């Protein structure tokens, strides 16, 4: 019985240790490939330019809120209850404006990114399929899921270059 169990265990270990022959394999970081495209860079530059006034306002609100907190901590012991309530209302108003504006900025950025991805994802799928056929790859694995890959097996830059070539 003990011998049979050892034989089974040894067989399982041998099977698990046997390398899987997958054929011609490549890796790619699809997210990095998309973000490195000219279109993605232009999209993010445009978002940053369009949202500069809102980001500046957020920075100002952040400073205002910090100033109110500092004033409260410094002067709380000598302030009247009415002054404390007024300062608290002022802080709450600034905080509400901050949250509201931050939500608007985040939504606009997400919307712009989604529009960009609607265009780039189908193109990326086409490019990956072209590279798969051209390189006679059996498998292309997302690079994040690979422990090691030789640099020549990485198609990320090729994907970016082909996406940039597609106008």
The model carries a pTM of 0.71
DSSP 20-36: P---SEEEE-HHHHHHT
Cα 19 to Cα 22: distance, rounded to the nearest angstrom: 9
CA–CA separation, 164 and 159 (whole Å): 9
Across 89-98, b (16+ Cβ under 10 Å) vs e yields eebeebeeeb
The domains located in the chain, with CATH, are 25-165 (3.30.910)
Q: Is the pLDDT of residue 147 over 60?
A: yes
Structure confidence by residue, pLDDT tens digits, 72-108: 899 888 988 898 899 999 999 999 999 999 999 999 9
Average pLDDT over residues 99-119: 95
């Amino acid at each position: 019985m003990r011998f049979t169990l050892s034989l089974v265990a040894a067989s399982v270990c041998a099977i698990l240790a046997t390398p899987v022959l997958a054929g011609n394999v490549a890796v790619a970081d699809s997210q990095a490939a998309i973000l490195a495209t000219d279109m993605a860079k232009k999209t993010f530059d445009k978002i940053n330019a369009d949202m500069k006034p809102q980001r500046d306002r957020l920075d100002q609100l952040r400073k205002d809120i910090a100033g109110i907190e500092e004033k409260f901590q410094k002067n709380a012991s000598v302030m009247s209850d009415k002054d404390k309530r007024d300062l608290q209302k002022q802080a709450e108003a600034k905080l509400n404006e901050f949250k509201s504006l931050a939500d608007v900025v985040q939504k606009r950025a997400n919307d712009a990114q989604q529009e960009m991805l609607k265009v780039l994802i189908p193109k990326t799928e086409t490019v990956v399929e072209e590279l798969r056929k051209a390189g006679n790859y059996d498998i292309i694995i997302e690079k994040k899921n690979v422990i090691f890959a030789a640099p020549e097996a990485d198609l990320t830059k090729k994907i970016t270059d082909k996406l940039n070539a597609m106008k």
